[in-house]
Amino acid sequence: MASLTDHLPAMFGILGNIISFGVFLAPLPTFYRIYLKKSTQGFQSIPYSVALFSCMLLLYYGCIKAENGTMIITINSVGCIIETAYLVFFLIYATRESFISTTKTLVMFNTISFGLIVSTTLLVTNDASKRVEIVGWICAIFSVCVFAAPLSIMRLVIRTKSVEYMPFSLSVFLTLCAIVWFIYGLLIKDYYVATPNVLGFLFGVAQMILYMMYKPKKVVQPKPVPLQIVVDLGAILERPETYSVGPGVGQKPRDKDEVEIRVEVEMHEKPGDEDDGGEEIKECMGKVCVDLGGEMTIVPSIPVA
């Protein structure tokens, strides 16, 4: 009966496939922006050409392995399809200069170079184990170069103090991907897979540290201070030509630079004390609403003679 240890390589291989698939889909927002703008907007095609070449090499390596090559074949087959789709989409919206440079890169790098590696290892090396070793070293060296590629982005982040072009989620996924494939390589004793992912892990952690250092600071918006309007009611009442009391009473047209002051008074009676004759003295209270150029303010109730 198989133990848990026997299933660990398959478990980490499947997990590595899932995380790697997420990494392959990470550039989708970039290509959605290209689609909306109908332009490549200065984006470069080299990262996608390099990723396609890496997938092609690892796919070839997985195919010539005698055992434990299935997980490598599955994810890199998917990677080849996705990266090819990215490049085709890029070429559709690329400028003439970008189209020519991308085509040259694909021909020289992904066609001629890859063809030479495959033909040389198949024709010159007859020993299958020796062929796996040679291709394994080529894959390991190229994987190191791929993992070192983010150095340019990290340098840009340090120079500009901005993490706009280094999403934190992508750095996390790349780090997780490196950890899982490192463990998978150790479990199947494939050091051509395990060793480069040590560097991938270190660069992923470095990117996350940089992001925490230069991430945008949250700006705390100050709470709005309520506007307090102080109205000198006595001064207003002494100048009836500048206001109107009640609707439609004595309204004077105002100049263009004059602020309209409108006072509305609501009256009600408040029972008071009795006078010497025994009659109740009623006190009139007023609730004053002042309209200053459209802004209403309420003055607390005051006695009105």
Q: Does residue 296 form part of some domain?
A: no
Hey, what are 197's tokens?
């992912």
Low-confidence ranges of the chain (pLDDT < 70): 1-4, 149, 165, 219-305
Q: Does residue 113 form part of some domain?
A: yes
Question: How many Cβ atoms sit within 10 Å of the Cβ of residue 32?
Answer: 10
Q: Does residue 120 form part of some domain?
A: yes
At residue 221, the pLDDT reads 65
Q: Does residue 277 form part of some domain?
A: no
Residue range(s) defining the domain that contains residue 92: 4-214
pLDDT, tens digit, for every residue of 246-293? 444 444 444 444 444 454 544 555 555 555 555 555 554 544 555 544
Measure the CA–CA gap between 112 and 151, rounded to whole angstroms. Answer: 27
Q: Does residue 65 form part of some domain?
A: yes
Measure the CA–CA gap between 197 and 205, rounded to whole angstroms. Answer: 12
Note if the pTM is more than 0.85. Answer: no
Q: What is the DSSP letter of 250?
A: S
In degrees and rounded to multiples of 5, residue 245 shows phi and psi of -105, 120
43 touches 98 (CB < 8 A): no
Through-space distance between the first and last CA atoms of the chain, rounded to whole angstroms? 103
Q: Does residue 48 form part of some domain?
A: yes
Overall domain count for the chain: 1
At residue 5, the pLDDT reads 75
